[in-house]
Structure 1
Amino acid sequence: MLCETANQRARQWGRGIAIVAFVWSLLVGGEAFAQSTSTFSQDFRLWSPVFMTVKLPSSFLAYMEVQPRFADLDEDGHIDQLLLRPALGYQLTENLSIWQGYAWVGNYNQKHTPPQSPFFDESRIYQQVLYTRKFESFKIVSRTRLEERWIEHVDGTAVRFRTMLRGQYPLPMAPEWALVAADEVFVHLNTVGARGPQAGFDQNRFFVGINRTFSKYVNLDVGYQNQLLNSRSIPNLANQMNHIILFQLFINL
């Protein structure tokens, strides 16, 4: 019995070490790629979103997200975006839910030519499918979202598809802590004029970090996110790579 327990702990430690090594190799490889690609414009940023999900009667769910984003941290630093994203969901099964939501996006301190304003906003509605699955020592989250976007100074409706996969591995020696990795791909489905989004790849976000569970209601992600942007409609910004320190607070009531 003792031998079996020791072997099980050794396997758990081995899986943990393997995951850490894999994440480290991705970080080192990504940094080497960025350094070898001179066409990338790079910036350091801070995102600090708060996500709240509330269970309602009859399997309904309410959701609210407040997400401030700060840019140019290697210089003076300033707010770049503020997102407010409410939604209403329905729990179809234990693992699967569907959502309908709205988002307001304020873009601050943007590159502009006077007399243009450095601020513009955007409204979105979106449809979402969320799937979560817990295994014995692992948790995955899959989120697929379709967005209809109305951007100030852009004529027409931009449609964007995005899909995210997240994995979470609790540490055997400290179950309240977990290693987290996630990736999300964004694709524009249409072209909206000369000043709007262009059909095709929009961006990719890759996150690695740790999660701390404080109670069954509250947990926090802290880590690094690499954001690769393809902003082809903006001159001299065809390839933008943002290095983001990410603090994500999750509240589930």
Structure 2
Amino acid sequence: MLCRATCISLAGMFLAASTGAEARSDSQIWGTASANFKFSDSWRLSEELVTRFSDNRNGLYEIEATTMLNYKVAKDVTLAAGYVHNPQYASGDFTVMERRAREQVTFDNVAKLGRGKLSARLRLEQRWREHIDGTGWRLRPYVKYSLPFAGKAAVNFSSETFFNLNSTSFQRQKGLDRVRNLVSISGPLSTKVNAEVGYMNQHGFVRGGPDSSDNIAYLGLSANF
């Protein structure tokens, strides 16, 4: 399953790159702040807050607040499950509340390629929107390659593919939905805090119309306790 998810995510990355010239574009800024609290060698709680701003949507359009409980089942394998609180906006005004259940398995150090390391994650989500019927099921395979340089800093290349497993009134398109490709540089700000900055392209596949292509400035901070 891991090999298949990795291949699917990489295939989505190349497909997005090959069709980007035909897409409708948007400029965005995404900010992420996360904190990880280690309870034991096996158990960890993670909290994450994501804010997203768009030119085409006139400012703030989405907030994601996520709580996940993580359990390490092996040295490089972690299971996790949690909840995503996802209010959405138009021109800064609230439009709809989305709630998600999320389950995932993460594989660290899948392979060593040169001086860098490959990791992967397989994420499953169930989505609900207030006052709208239906449950949207979505699968998100993710791969990341990190290459260290200058001590503890690293350059990172990642790709995440979104597959809608069904369709609802708000998740209208079944199958391949979008691909997020990120190139970033990360490094420690202190012994507990890490920073990441980079460029992301989010390519949306639209049946019966032009695709979308979001050009995103990505900023992230993470802390470990």
TM-score range, shorter chain: 0.7 to 0.9
The 1:231–1:122 alpha-carbon spacing in structure 2 relative to 1, beyond 3 Å, is: farther
**Contact (CA 8 Å) 2:57, 2:90: kept in 1 or not?**
no
Rg: which structure is higher?
A: 1
For residues 206 and 155 of structure 2, the distance between their equivalents in structure 1, rounded to whole angstroms, comes to 31
Task: Note the residue ranges of structure 1 that are not aligned, 5 or more in a row.
Answer: 1-25, 111-116
Q: Does 1:98 align with 2:82?
A: no
Q: Secondary structure at the match of 1:190?
A: coil
The 1:145–1:76 alpha-carbon spacing in structure 2 relative to 1, beyond 3 Å, is: closer
The 1:58–1:182 alpha-carbon spacing in structure 2 relative to 1, beyond 3 Å, is: closer
**Contact (CA 8 Å) 2:164, 2:171: kept in 1 or not?**
no
Q: Tell me the residue number matched to 2:216.
A: 244
Normalised by the length of structure 2, the TM-score is 0.83
Q: Tell me the residue number matched to 1:212.
A: 187
Q: Tell me the residue number matched to 2:8.
A: none
For residues 190 and 76 of structure 1, the distance between their equivalents in structure 2, rounded to whole angstroms, comes to 27
* Structure with bigger RCO (C-alpha 8 Å, 6+ apart): 2
* Structure 1 or 2: more helix by fraction: 1
**Contact (CA 8 Å) 1:176, 1:214: kept in 2 or not?**
no
RMSD, aligned α-carbons: 2.6
For residues 128 and 155 of structure 2, the distance between their equivalents in structure 1, rounded to whole angstroms, comes to 36
Match of 2:172 among 188, 193, 197: 197
Q: Quote the offset at 1:58 in angstroms.
A: 6.1
Q: How much identity, in percent, do the aligned residues show?
A: 27
For residues 129 and 171 of structure 2, the distance between their equivalents in structure 1, rounded to whole angstroms, comes to 8
Q: Tell me the residue number matched to 1:230.
A: 205
**Contact (CA 8 Å) 1:158, 1:197: kept in 2 or not?**
no
**Contact (CA 8 Å) 1:41, 1:237: kept in 2 or not?**
no
Q: Tell me the residue number matched to 1:131.
A: 107
The 1:186–1:108 alpha-carbon spacing in structure 2 relative to 1, beyond 3 Å, is: same
Normalised by the length of structure 1, the TM-score is 0.74
Task: Note the residue ranges of structure 2 that are not aligned, 5 or more in a row.
Answer: 1-12
The 1:237–1:68 alpha-carbon spacing in structure 2 relative to 1, beyond 3 Å, is: farther
Q: Quote the offset at 1:237 in angstroms.
A: 6.4
For residues 163 and 210 of structure 2, the distance between their equivalents in structure 1, rounded to whole angstroms, comes to 15
Match of 2:61 among 80, 83, 96: 80
The 1:184–1:96 alpha-carbon spacing in structure 2 relative to 1, beyond 3 Å, is: same
Equivalences, count: 209
The 1:76–1:187 alpha-carbon spacing in structure 2 relative to 1, beyond 3 Å, is: closer
